[in-house]
C-alpha cells in the first residue's frame, strides 16, 4: 500500500493467528478457517462469511510453511471451516473495490503463490491437502479448495461451489480458478463456462459429475468420511514418522524507511534513485556434518527465510522502488560447502524441504514486478544456490578485474555453477534457470554444465553466456549507474509486461499460465471501467444498483 502509512508485516506464528485454527493430530493436521470479522488488515471493511484479505492469507501462508518444517509427521492437511454455515466466501469485495490497482495485483500474486505452495506441499513435500467444504465455497473460497488434492462437499441444499466473479463483479476468478478448473480438474470447457456464469454455483451430485469436486457426502456421514479420506491420503506419503521438525523461530529484522536488515540479508532503499540495493551474505560458519545438525540457523534456511520476507516486504510496502540490484558477499568456499551438503543429502526430508523452500522463494523473485540487476563484484559469492539470484536477474554485470585503491583487497569476482543449478531449483515453467536461459541452445547449455565447479571470472562467464556485461574498474560505476538510471526512466508498466514475458521462455505449466495468461487478463480487467469505473460492477456490488457497461467487445 505504501502511501497510507502502516507497513504490512508478513511475519506471524500460530499463537498470533486471528483467522485460522491449526490442530495437529498425528499424521493429520486440520487447518480451520475462522476469520475474525473485525480483523481486517485495513479499516473500512468487515470480513464476513470467512471472506479474506491479505492478512488472512498471510496467516495461511505461515501455517502452510510451518506444517512442512515443524511437523514432519503430518501427511494430510484438512482445510475446512470452523464456521457453521460457510466454508469461505472468497476475497472480501469491499476490500477489493476500495483498493488501488497495485494493491489488488500484489494481493492476488501473494494469494496465488500461497496456493501454489499448497500444491508444492502435496506434489513434493508429501503433505496432501484435503478440502473439506462443510458449507458454500464461493469465488476465492472455491479457488483455495481447487489448490487441494481432493475436494469433498457436504451434500445439502445450501452447500455449493461457485465462481460468481464474472456475473456478480465483472472480473475473473483470477487467482487460479479459470486455469485449475480446466487444466487440473479437467472440467469440460462448456460446463466450466456455464458454471462460471452461474452465480449461485453448483452443488450435490452435479458438482461431482462435472468434476468440480471429487465427492459429495451427506452431513450425517461427514466427519467419518473426512477422517477416512484424510487417512487414505496420508497412506501414500513418504514423510518420516520419527523425525524432529525445525521450529521456525522469529526472524531478527530491523526495518527503517531507508534500510531493511536481517542476519544474512540487507537492503538499502534509495528512494531518489528508485532502487533497492540488496546484498545477500554467504555463510559465516562451516556447515554441519549432516542433516541432523540442521536447525533454523542453518544458513540456507535462515537466508532463504530472510530473502523471502524481504521480497514480500519490498513488493508490498515499496512499490516506488522499481529496480532491485542483487549483490552477494562472502566466502565462496563456504557457500560451496553448504551446496555440497544440500546436494549430498537432497533425499533427506529436511534438506529436501530446504531446497523446495529455496525453489519457492526464487520463483517469487521470478514473478516479482521489479527490474532485477545482478552486480557481481570482487568479494561476492555467486555460486550454486546464490548463483540463482544472478540467473533470475534481467541482466547482470560482472567486474572484469579488480577494484583498485584503498579498501579493495578482494581478487577478481568469480561465479560458480554447481549441481544445484542444473535442475533442483526449477522455475515455474519446469526448467532450471540455466535451461531457460539457454532455451533452444543445447550446445551452450552443455558447455556451461561442463564447467560445474569451476570459478569463472568475467571473461569466462561472459564467453559462456552466463553474464551480460563485464565492464572493468574504470567503467564499472558509470555503466551500472547508467543502467539503473535508464531503467528508472522507462514506463514501469511496460517493464512489468516485458519482464513477465522474457523471464518465461519455453514451455508453460499450469503455474506459468496462472501468472502469465490468467493474471494478465485479470489485471487488464482490473483497469477497465466496466469493473472499476464509477459505474463498474466491482464498485456497484452490494449497493443495490446495477453496473452500467460499455457493451462493446474489445
Q: Which of residues 17-56 bind its own copies (CB under 8 A)?
A: none
Q: Return the residue of 387, 393, 399, 431 that touches its own copies, per CB under 8 A.
A: 393
The answer to the question of residue 479 lying near its own copies (CB under 8 A) is no
- Residue for grid cell 473500512: 44
CB 508, min distance to its own copies, A: 4
Residues 382, 329 contacting (CB under 8 angstroms): no
The answer to the question of residue 261 lying near its own copies (CB under 8 A) is no
**519: Cα within 13 Å, side-chain hemisphere:** 27
- CA-nearest of 77, 175, 116 to 360 is 116
The answer to the question of residue 520 lying near its own copies (CB under 8 A) is yes
CB 98, min distance to its own copies, A: 17
Q: Return the residue of 244, 453, 493, 542 that touches its own copies, per CB under 8 A.
A: 493
Using CB under 8 A as the binding rule, the residues of this chain from 304 to 323 that contact its own copies are 319-322
The answer to the question of residue 462 lying near its own copies (CB under 8 A) is no
The answer to the question of residue 530 lying near its own copies (CB under 8 A) is yes
The answer to the question of residue 249 lying near its own copies (CB under 8 A) is no
Q: How far apart are CA 317 and CA 152, in angstroms?
A: 38
Q: Return the residue of 239, 365, 495, 541 that touches its own copies, per CB under 8 A.
A: 495
- Residue for grid cell 484435503: 130
The answer to the question of residue 547 lying near its own copies (CB under 8 A) is yes
Residues 329, 281 contacting (CB under 8 angstroms): yes
The answer to the question of residue 395 lying near its own copies (CB under 8 A) is yes
The answer to the question of residue 524 lying near its own copies (CB under 8 A) is yes
- Tell me whether residue 101 or residue 285 sits nearer to its own copies (CB atom): 101
Q: How far apart are CA 438 and CA 443, in angstroms?
A: 9
CB 238, min distance to its own copies, A: 25
**Phi, psi torsion values for 252, nearest 5 degrees:** -85, 110
CB 133, min distance to its own copies, A: 22
DSSP states of 71-92 as a string?
-TT--EEEEEESSSS-SB-EE-
The answer to the question of residue 394 lying near its own copies (CB under 8 A) is yes
DSSP states of 430-479 as a string?
SS-HHHHHTTT-HHHHHHHHTTTT-EE-HHHHHHTTS-SB--BHHHHHHH
- Tell me whether residue 170 or residue 287 sits nearer to its own copies (CB atom): 170
Q: How far apart are CA 90 and CA 52, in angstroms?
A: 6
Cell of 305: 527465510
The answer to the question of residue 111 lying near its own copies (CB under 8 A) is no
CB 77, min distance to its own copies, A: 24
Interface map 116-155 toward its own copies (x if CB under 8 A): ----------------------------------------
Using CB under 8 A as the binding rule, the residues of this chain from 402 to 421 that contact its own copies are none
Question: How many chain residues are in contact with its own copies, going by CB under 8 A?
Answer: 92
Using CB under 8 A as the binding rule, the residues of this chain from 186 to 215 that contact its own copies are 186, 188-194, 196-197
Residues 373, 393 contacting (CB under 8 angstroms): yes
Stretch that binds its own copies, among 15-23, 140-148, 381-389, 431-439 (CB under 8 A): 431-439
Q: How far apart are CA 265 and CA 259, in angstroms?
A: 11
Cα-Cα-Cα-Cα torsion 151, 156, 165, 534, nearest 10 degrees, comes to: -150
245: left (phi over 0), alpha (psi -120 to 50) or beta: beta
DSSP states of 296-309 as a string?
TT-HHHHHHHHHHH
Stretch that binds its own copies, among 117-125, 166-174, 257-265, 305-313 (CB under 8 A): 166-174
Stretch that binds its own copies, among 129-137, 151-159, 241-249, 433-441 (CB under 8 A): 433-441
The separation between the first and the last C-alpha atoms of the chain, rounded to the nearest angstrom, is 30
CB 416, min distance to its own copies, A: 19
* Maximum C-alpha span of the chain: 79
The answer to the question of residue 517 lying near its own copies (CB under 8 A) is yes
**In 125-235, which residue ranges form alpha helices assigned H by DSSP?**
140-146, 177-183, 189-195, 204-209, 222-235
- Tell me whether residue 289 or residue 494 sits nearer to its own copies (CB atom): 494
The answer to the question of residue 540 lying near its own copies (CB under 8 A) is no
- Tell me whether residue 317 or residue 457 sits nearer to its own copies (CB atom): 317
Residues 145, 79 contacting (CB under 8 angstroms): yes
CB 476, min distance to its own copies, A: 17
Amino acid at each position: 500500500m505504501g502511501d497510507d502509512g502502516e507497513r504490512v508485516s508478513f511475519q506471524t506464528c500460530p499463537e498470533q493467528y486471528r483467522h485460522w485454527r491449526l490442530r495437529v493430530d498425528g499424521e493429520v493436521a486440520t487447518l480451520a478457517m475462522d476469520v475474525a470479522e473485525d480483523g481486517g488488515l485495513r479499516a473500512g471493511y468487515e470480513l464476513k462469511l470467512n471472506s479474506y484479505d491479505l492478512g488472512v492469507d498471510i496467516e495461511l501462508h505461515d501455517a502452510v510453511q510451518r506444517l512442512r518444517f515443524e511437523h514432519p509427521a503430518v501427511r494430510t492437511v484438512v482445510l475446512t471451516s470452523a464456521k457453521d454455515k460457510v466454508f469461505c466466501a472468497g476475497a472480501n469485495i469491499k476490500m477489493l473495490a476500495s483498493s488501488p490497482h497495485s494493491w489488488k495485483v500484489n494481493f492476488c500474486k501473494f494469494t496465488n503463490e500461497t496456493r501454489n505452495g499448497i500444491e508444492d506441499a502435496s506434489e513434493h513435500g508429501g503433505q496432501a491437502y484435503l478440502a473439506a467444504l462443510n458449507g458454500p465455497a464461493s469465488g476465492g473460497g472455491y479457488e483455495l479448495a481447487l489448490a487441494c488434492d481432493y475436494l469433498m462437499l457436504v451434500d445439502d441444499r445450501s452447500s455449493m461451489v461457485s465462481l460468481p466473479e464474472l456475473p456478480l463483479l465483472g472480473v475473473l476468478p483470477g487467482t487460479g480458478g479459470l486455469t485449475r478448473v480446466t487444466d487440473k480438474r479437467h472440467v469440460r470447457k462448456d460446463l466450466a463456462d456455464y458454471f462460471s456464469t452461474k452465480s449461485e454455483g453448483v452443488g450435490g451430485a452435479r458438482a461431482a459429475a462435472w468434476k468440480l469436486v471429487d465427492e459429495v457426502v451427506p452431513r450425517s456421514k461427514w466427519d467419518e468420511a473426512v477422517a477416512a479420506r484424510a487417512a487414505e491420503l496420508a497412506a501414500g506419503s513418504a514423510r518420516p514418522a520419527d523425525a524432529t521438525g525445525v521450529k521456525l523461530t522469529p526472524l531478527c529484522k530491523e526495518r527503517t524507511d531507508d534500510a531493511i536488515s536481517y542476519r544474512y540479508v540487507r537492503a538499502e532503499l534509495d528512494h531518489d534513485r528508485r532502487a533497492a540495493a540488496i546484498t545477500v551474505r554467504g555463510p559465516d560458519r562451516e556447515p554441519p556434518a549432516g542433516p541432523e545438525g540442521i536447525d533454523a540457523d542453518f544458513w540456507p534456511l535462515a537466508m532463504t527465510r530472510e530473502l523471502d520476507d524481504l521480497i514480500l516486504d519490498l513488493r508490498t510496502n515499496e512499490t516506488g522502488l522499481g529496480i532491485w540490484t542483487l549483490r552477494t558477499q562472502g566466502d565462496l568456499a563456504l557457500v560451496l560447502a553448504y551446496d555440497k551438503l544440500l546436494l549430498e543429502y537432497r533425499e533427506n526430508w529436511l534438506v529436501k524441504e530446504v531446497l523446495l523452500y529455496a525453489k519457492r522463494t526464487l520463483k517469487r523473485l521470478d514473478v516479482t514486478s521489479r527490474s532485477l540487476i545482478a552486480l557481481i563484484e570482487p568479494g561476492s559469492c555467486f555460486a550454486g544456490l546464490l548463483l540463482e539470484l544472478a540467473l533470475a536477474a534481467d541482466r547482470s554485470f560482472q567486474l572484469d578485474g579488480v577494484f583498485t585503491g584503498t579498501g579493495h583487497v578482494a581478487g577478481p569476482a568469480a561465479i560458480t555453477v554447481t549441481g544445484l543449478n542444473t535442475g533442483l531449483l526449477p522455475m515455474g515453467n519446469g526448467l532450471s534457470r540455466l535451461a531457460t536461459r539457454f532455451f533452444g541452445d543445447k550446445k551452450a547449455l552443455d558447455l556451461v554444465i561442463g564447467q560445474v565447479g569451476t570459478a569463472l571470472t568475467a571473461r569466462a562467464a561472459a564467453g559462456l553466456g552466463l553474464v551480460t556485461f563485464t565492464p572493468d574498474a574504470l567503467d564499472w560505476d558509470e555503466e551500472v549507474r547508467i543502467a539503473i538510471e535508464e531503467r528508472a526512466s522507462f514506463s514501469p508498466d511496460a517493464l512489468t509486461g516485458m519482464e513477465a514475458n522474457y523471464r518465461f521462455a519455453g514451455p508453460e505449466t499450469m503455474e506459468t499460465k496462472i501468472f502469465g495468461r490468467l493474471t494478465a487478463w485479470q489485471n487488464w480487467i482490473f483497469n477497465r471501467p466496466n469493473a472499476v469505473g464509477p459505474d463498474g460492477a466491482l464498485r456497484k456490488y452490494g449497493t443495490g444498483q446495477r453496473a452500467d457497461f460499455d457493451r462493446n467487445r474489445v
